[in-house]
Homo-oligomer: A and B are copies of this chain.
Amino acid sequence: MGVSVALVITMLELVGLFTFATSGALLAIQKGFDAVGILVLAILTALGGGILRDLIIGDTPPAAFTDVMYLVVPVVAAAVTFFAHPLLQRWTFTVLIFDAAGLGLFCVTGTLKALRFDLGPLQAVLLGVMTAVGGGVLRDITARETPALVQADSSLYAIPAALGSAGVVGAYHAGLPLGIVGTAAAVFVFGLRVVAMVRHWRAPRAWTRRRPEVGR
């Protein structure tokens, strides 16, 4: 892979960091957390998935701890959200749109990095999805929410990311230009996630004779 791909990865990641951090900061404000909680959820949501990815492929210290921009961007996003959030009218939907943008960007960058470290196709897809959904799961667990990822009444989330990651893996092995494919995959994941939210597309549930209790 050439320099251009590394550049595309870095640029996509910085945009993704900002959107993910914003989604974390907005959830913290919704939950009534203080400034520290807002900063913690912003950093955790933005960097959690990437740190998991880098620990797993053994690229330590993770990018989040070597390039200072990876820290500066979530801190700025947290500060902007702290002051500017009243401008955002529709809380829940705004959180979800930002989240969808991060989902698309991070599954692509995670998959590309996994391929660069010579992981197999299936593992690269899993690591791409983990990069994308890991920060959000850590955010939800820290905020004591059941992760949207696993809930039956939430719209498709991991499935768009898995499809996008699989597309990137396929393009990589077919020798297609990764900058274009990666951007297209990120847009596809974002779009599919947003459409799934608007149309309430959901993943199937296992059939059960007696209806189980949902949540607690």
Q: Please list the residues of chain A having a beta carbon within 8 angstroms of any beta carbon in chain B.
A: 28-38, 40-41, 43, 51, 55-58, 60-62, 65-66, 68, 71-72, 81-83, 85-86, 117, 119-120, 122-123, 126-127, 137, 141-147, 149-152, 154, 157-159, 202-209, 211-216
Closest chain-B Cβ to A209's Cβ sits at a distance in Å of: 6
**Quick one: copies of this chain in the complex?**
3
Known contacts A56-B61, A86-B208, A159-B36; A31/B214 CB under 8 A: yes
Q: Do A61 and B119 touch (CB < 8 A)? A: yes
Cβ contact of A35, chosen from B62, B66, B142, B203, cutoff 8 A? B203
Closest chain-B Cβ to A103's Cβ sits at a distance in Å of: 13
Q: Do B68 and A57 touch (CB < 8 A)? A: no
- Chain B residues whose CB sits within 8 angstroms of the CB of A158 once the complex forms: 36, 40
- Chain B residues whose CB sits within 8 angstroms of the CB of A159 once the complex forms: 36
Cβ contact of A37, chosen from B150, B207, B209, cutoff 8 A? B150
Known contacts A40-B149, A55-B55, A147-B142; A31/B212 CB under 8 A: yes
Closest chain-B Cβ to A139's Cβ sits at a distance in Å of: 11
A157 to B34 Cα, complex, angstroms: 11
